[in-house]
Structure 1
Amino acid sequence: MHTFTLQDERVSQATAVPDLFLDYYMPSANGEFVKVYLYLLRAAGCREVSVSLSSIADFFFCTETDVVRALKYWEKTGILALSFDAGGIVTNIRLLPLKVPGQVQTAPKQEAALKTAAVTTEPSSASPKTVLAKEAPKPKQLSSSRIQALKENEEIRQLLFLSEQYLGRTLSPADVNRLLYFYDELHFSAELLEYLVEYCVSKGSTSLHYLEKVGIAWHEAGITTVEMAKQETTTYNRKYFPILKAFGIRNRNPIPKEIADMDRWLNDYGFSQELIAEACARTIAQTGQPSFSYAEGILSKWKSQNVRSLQDIQALDEQHRKNQKTASRDSSSQKPVSNRFNNFHQREYDYEKLEQQLLNQ
């Protein structure tokens, strides 16, 4: 089990929760992420505590992947720093001093599957720096004057032209509104918007409704550059789409429940794509349809049998065939049970002869 040291560089060494965290960082964060940070505050108060990902995961009844996701989120906000070894294992966490309110940046948005609230720093009558929590962003209709003003921007005109080329059609007013919403309200750069359109078309969809869903997911994941988007889509495609393909599922993204199942197979069970594909193939052969629950039954059994390769599966299959043959031979060779009743010599009577004798009497 890998452990890492936890150091605290904050001025205060108490296990108290800083007001700045409560006022400016917590409102925008997912509740599970908040719990992980509070755990770190508590552990840091014990001085040089050895903490492991597994111990945190066990404490909150979650996976180590969930813990790493929370740590990386807080690293993006700037309130902690992570160090990794060559194998990508967390070796050190430094809790950093929280910034004063005037220096706080809007926290990066949560991952799409978490559907957490976005945060803005809009002024209010009570305080010019009050942080307001909002629901996940929903596209709204921009005013005609605002759309016209944006269209005067050469960058926007180029974006709309390229979008029409990618989509193969003239953009409707609703299409234009959807694209400009991301630019004006969610602050996507024109370059990122162009890549968003290109990515959706590459996935076989020219629907602006689909583009809207992907764009909001990127926004909630804190993606702000083309490089970040490429990294996200590459990781996503590499992890999940080979499994969907093994199930024969195409032209759609996995739903959250399916993602949770695949994360468990890859991370908790530690199975390779090859083994998972084999389980998918057996699922289709037995049920005739892509059943994640049936595949879960296969993979959980393989995990309990310490399967790590296709050779292990072949060995189990061979042993299963031998057991079936042995059971079949034993069944066919069974003889009547020897007991006193079966050993008794049965008398043989001619009932017709007996009946005739009775009639003649």
Structure 2
Amino acid sequence: MAMITLQNSRNAEVTVLTNNFIDNYMPEANGEFVKVYIYLLRLLSDASVPFSLEQMADHFFCTERDIVRALKYWEKVNLLTLTYRSNEDITDITLNVPPVKSDVSDSSKPAVQTVSVAKDTVAQSSDVSAPSTKPAARSASSLSPDRVKELKQNDEIVQLLYIAEQYLGKTLTPTEMKKILFFYDELKFSPDLIEYLIEYSVSRGHKSIRYIETVALAWADEGITTVTMAKEANSRYAKEYFTIFKSMGISGRNPVDTEISLMNTWLNDYGFSMDIIQEACSRTVLSTGQPSFQYADKILSGWKDKNVRTLADVRLLDAQHQRQKLEKKTQKKAAAPKPAATNRFNNFHQREYDFSEYEKKLLNQ
């Protein structure tokens, strides 16, 4: 696990959050992203605090993928810059001072706080550097007032916004309206797909625009462009979710967002088949006596690191593990001092282990 160290000489009892960030950046950001950003500032306020993406994920009861997604969002809006190693691990984090919205077009360079990395360590300095030259992906905040005004004159959009208000049961705020326009203008969702997106989210008990945006971005990542494709994806995932729930011994409720996030990680990021996931769930319940998605994720992430693709690979790992245990036990016996005197209890025939034969039996189970 790569450890990252943030260093700073400021007062550790104070974490500074600018009014500019609160007024102009926080309202449009996903709540989980805001928590990650504030926590990163909190770490910077302490001297030489080691941390890793895994530790941040554990702190927020989410996945490392969720942490990286948050960091990339703040990079998109130019609040920080990420640099990567060749293996795609994050090495540098540069915190940019949030530019005032009205001054974004200014050609001058924004002040930044650079978090530089040497091997596995991050150290904050007071150097001023240029922002990343990598083009930032557009977000809802990139829609200009003129473009918003233009879209709102579209009869199709007017109808869509009205339908959205009926589903959400309230008048849309400017931020909510802008998000819906973002789905249409940037994600290229059709009005029918956006209507289904809102209907789907509300049917699951979520009327938050942040949740709706999370689903929209996930659909965009999967290349979903029609209502039919969205329904097929939802049906497929719903079936897989409840299959996993059954393996965990859970019934009578729907999965919560954190569970969905982990299950999507197993299915999409890790690319495991359902039989592998079910095996991990079964082992989780046997080991802990209760369902635990975090425990199952540790099993599956370990299997991913060892390139497990089939149940046969799992059995091979089990056999190797048992063999190592037997070898250690034998070595321990051989190293133990022999008793000075012999008696009838020491006159038995010592058992010799045939490790190859034992491994074959385990693999054939």
Specify the TM-score bucket, using the shorter chain as the normaliser.
0.3 to 0.5
Larger Rg: 1
TM-score, normalised to structure 1's length? Answer: 0.42
TM-score, normalised to structure 2's length? Answer: 0.42
